[in-house]
Amino acid sequence: MSKIVNEVLLANREYVANFDKSDLAMPPARRFAILTCMDARLDPAKYAGLSEGDAHVIRNAGGRASDDAIRSLVISYKLLGTKEWFVIHHTDCGMETFTDEIMRDLLASSLKTATVDATGWHDCCEGGGSHEGKHVAWLTISDLAASVVEDVTRIKNHPLVPSDIPIYGYIYDVKTGGLIEVDAATKIGKVA
């Protein structure tokens, strides 16, 4: 086993020894959901004051309103009763550092981990790549506030999302820990 696997399993054993959450209900107690980025610097439980069982937190690269994120949000309200949603992107997001074309080119060249420097992204190796990346919408970000507006708009206008769910748009500042409202997104996400 790897060092990481051992660390995770040890942490889990310690968690199990003090586990006292078996009585939590499946629906989130505070009846809201957050769509945010998978970036390891973001801790939605801390920046949104959550405890286990409070809210649904849906995470992906960039916190984007992908089909799968919308699927999760729809399940969140339809089957588990959430009534408000937040879309929270963040400053210094890695999704701002490349384009769909760059990602597709990197994957076509090699499946090994790429590196980045002042001149851009680079593959370490040639060969072993795949052109399948051209079939993926990578949902990269060129304007942070605009991406929040775009995602709130996409969710709000989705035919499976009821009009009575307010959707709020924010940017998390990785330097201060603060949430900055994207007014245009919140206006679009308001209940009429």
Whether 28 has a pLDDT exceeding 80, the answer reads: yes
pLDDT of residue 124: 84
The per-residue pLDDT for range 87-106, each reduced to its tens digit, is 999 999 999 999 999 999 99
pLDDT of residue 84: 98
Class for domain 26-95+140-192, per CATH? alpha beta
Taking the alpha carbons at both ends of the chain, their separation in whole angstroms is 54
Split at pLDDT 50, 70, 90, the class of 126 is confident
Q: Buried b / exposed e across 93-130, counting CB within 10 Å, b at 16+?
A: bebbebeeeebbbbbebbeeebeeeeeeeebeeeeebe
pLDDT of residue 127: 77
Average pLDDT of the chain to the nearest whole number:
96
pLDDT of residue 115: 93
pLDDT of residue 22: 93
Mean pLDDT, rounded, for 114-142: 92
pLDDT of residue 8: 96
Amino acid at 149: V
pLDDT of residue 7: 96
pLDDT of residue 128: 86
Split at pLDDT 50, 70, 90, the class of 15 is very high
pLDDT of residue 1: 79
Whether 83 has a pLDDT exceeding 80, the answer reads: yes
CATH 3.40.1050.10 location in the chain: 26-95+140-192
Mean pLDDT, rounded, for 127-142: 94
The per-residue pLDDT for range 30-78, each reduced to its tens digit, is 999 999 999 999 999 999 999 999 999 999 999 999 999 999 999 999 9
